[in-house]
Amino acid sequence: MTQPGGRRSPAGDLRPLLFSIAYRMLASVADAEDLVQEAYLRYERALAEGAPIQSPKPESTAAGVIGPAAGSRS
């Protein structure tokens, strides 16, 4: 993924990892892609809100895996 100004997004570099985790969990390409997109949006939103993110790998993975699962319980 490319951010404004042509910079690469660290979260975008993790898309293949996030997709592989999501696909193993959901066994559906479409659902895995949706989950990865949601994780990316959550990550970008956290950055915009000034959240201190030290490493995008665990943050992105948690946003993709834990975030939607937690949200579906309501």
Spatial distance between the Cα atoms of 22 and 29, rounded to a whole number of angstroms: 9
DSSP lists the bridge partners of residue 8 as: 2
Q: Is 54 helix (H, G, I), strand (E, B) or coil?
A: coil
Domain boundaries, the chain: 10-65
Top-confidence residue, 1 or 31:
31
Whole-angstrom Cα Rg for the chain: 12
Rounded to the nearest angstrom, the gap between the alpha carbon of residue 13 and the centroid of all alpha carbons in its chain is: 10
pLDDT digits (tens, 9 = 90+) for 12-53: 788 898 899 889 989 999 999 998 898 888 888 888 898 887
Residue 32 tokens read as 């895995």
Residues making up the chain, counted from first to last: 74
Task: Write down the pLDDT at residue 65.
Answer: 54
